[in-house]
Amino acid sequence: METKEGESMRRTIQRQRAEAFHRLHAGDGILVLVNAWDAASARLFEQAGSPAIATTSAGMAWSLGYSDGEQINARELVEACARICRVVTAPVSVDIERGYGRTPAEVSATVRALLELGVVGINIEDGLTPGSKELAPPSVLTEKISAIRAVAEEAGMPLFVNARTDAYLAPTNDPGARYEDTVRRAQMYVAAGADGVFVPGLESLEEMARLAKAVDRPLNIYAGYAGLPPVDELRRAGVRRVSLGCGPFQAALALARRIATETLNAGTYTAMTTNMLSAGEVNKLFSNA
């Protein structure tokens, strides 16, 4: 059983990590996140120099044998995050999709469990209304953000809440109206307590620059596919956070498929043995876990 002194120390370290995670979004720099899907990828990315670890909800679901879209349950999410938190010392932020709960109270329970693990940030999204191609009303997410903010304050933890809007992923015939809706939603989410705004699907540097000026919080862009401008151009446009999302896991799966195809069809191992890590290198990832 954890002593009071141990709990106090753990909370102090968590607050320090939370404050550090907030600082990573400050100033004119840009935070690049190579999103992890399990303990091994998280430790690998930390060793590569990532100052923080953020999860990919899609990658985590795929690694557990589910399709994307809250197909895993909250217990499986927390268990997977516990393994990540056990092996890294960097700040950890978790993508909780819509919050793994229909009500603010249910979402609060998810966040409370993650805070107990030492998590210092979360992503939460509005998304499409189930069974339709229309975005959920922004009030649904603002209520959840307010509830999350209350849980974090109760725990005395400066949790970084990154509010995602899927306005650029929803079908539209009016790009101008889509941009205005994004601004409106982002401002509502900030007013409810969001610390950052995530807009996957936004590709125009001009619109990024306008949005970064219109919303007084760090702008997060998704770069998990080909064609997006380099990080330096995003930074100059005002972007303060770049997420690779499920892209790294998709690339890892593509390599695994090439390895299998080569070996099963040609009987050779080049795709596997080229640049592979040694068993010793992999073991060293966890030597201090």
The per-residue pLDDT for range 123-182, each reduced to its tens digit, is 999 998 877 788 999 999 999 999 999 999 999 999 999 999 999 999 888 988 999 999
61-85 in b/e burial notation, b at 16+ Cβ within 10 A? bbbeeeeeebebebeebbebbbebb
The DSSP bridge partners found for residue 95 are: 123
Q: Distance (Å, rounded) from C-alpha 203 to C-alpha 224?
A: 12
Domain of residue 70, CATH code: 3.20.20.60
Does 40 reside within a domain? Answer: yes
Does 285 reside within a domain? Answer: no
Among residues 229, 186, 231, 233, which one has the least CA distance to residue 211? 186
* pTM to 2 decimal places: 0.95
Does 274 reside within a domain? Answer: no
Does 268 reside within a domain? Answer: no
Contacts of 154 (CB under 8 A, 6+ apart): none
Full residue range of the structural domain in which residue 20 is found: 10-246
pLDDT 10s per residue in the chain (289 long)? 778 888 889 999 999 999 999 999 999 999 999 999 999 999 999 999 999 999 999 999 999 999 999 999 999 999 999 999 999 999 999 999 999 999 999 999 999 999 999 999 999 999 988 777 889 999 999 999 999 999 999 999 999 999 999 999 998 889 889 999 999 999 999 999 999 999 999 999 999 999 999 999 999 999 999 999 999 999 999 999 999 999 999 999 999 999 999 999 999 999 999 999 999 999 999 987 7
Does 140 reside within a domain? Answer: yes
Amino acid at 251: A
Query: Do residues 239 and 206 make contact, with C-beta atoms less than 8 angstroms apart?
Result: no
Does 46 reside within a domain? Answer: yes
Q: What DSSP character marks residue 273?
A: H
Number of domains in the chain: 1
Does 193 reside within a domain? Answer: yes
Q: Distance (Å, rounded) from C-alpha 116 to C-alpha 101?
A: 18
The per-residue pLDDT for range 101-119, each reduced to its tens digit, is 999 999 999 999 999 999 9
